[in-house]
Amino acid sequence: MVRLLFDTNILLDLCNVNRVPFHQDALDLLTRCVRRGDAEMLVCVASLNDVYYVLRRHYGSEEQARRYVGELMELFDVRPLLPRHARRSLASDEPDFEDGLIRAVAEDSGVDTIVSRDRAAFAGSSIPRKTARGVSGGDAVALSSA
């Protein structure tokens, strides 16, 4: 079973249909993972906080932001953020602290791929970064070899 950690930008893509074409790419990957059942989908708990903040501001609705975060929690295995992740983030070569946190959680969780649109992030990680479209590809092999 392939293990995928979804970065915050992909979660935001899932929650906002106006993020064209990224919403559809993220939705296609999510749908494929759920239907096939051969992928473990993970998120960092810090990403849920960021998603909540952005959606609350975007929609202006506490209820809607909470609903989306709740739905994400149903779909994904939520990984904790620990002090060692913060220390590794501070020491990392990532472009920002948040990316360092995602990388540290991904590496600790033994994921196969970090799903992200952030081209500058995760370059120094032992875990490859791919876009949602890059993971789902157009063929049946792409997901199993993510």
Could you report the per-residue pLDDT of 94-109, keeping only the tens digit for each?
Answer: 999 999 999 999 999 9
Q: Give the pLDDT of residue 140.
A: 37
Q: Give the pLDDT of residue 146.
A: 52
Residue 138 pLDDT level (bands cut at 50, 70, 90): very low
Residue 115 pLDDT level (bands cut at 50, 70, 90): very high
Residue 83 has pLDDT above 60, yes or no: yes
Q: Give the pLDDT of residue 86.
A: 98
Q: Give the pLDDT of residue 139.
A: 38
Q: Give the pLDDT of residue 142.
A: 47
End-to-end alpha-carbon separation of the chain, Å? 10
For residue 40, list its beta bridge partners.
Answer: 3
With tokens 């749908």, the residue in question is 31
Percent of the chain at pLDDT exceeding 90: 89
Q: 2-144 belongs to which homologous superfamily?
A: 5'-nuclease (3.40.50.1010)
> Domain coordinates of the chain in residue numbers?
2-144
Provide CB contacts within 8 A for 74, sequence distance 6+.
Answer: none
Provide CB contacts within 8 A for 7, sequence distance 6+.
Answer: 47, 102, 114, 115, 116, 117, 118, 121
Mean pLDDT over the full length of the chain: 93
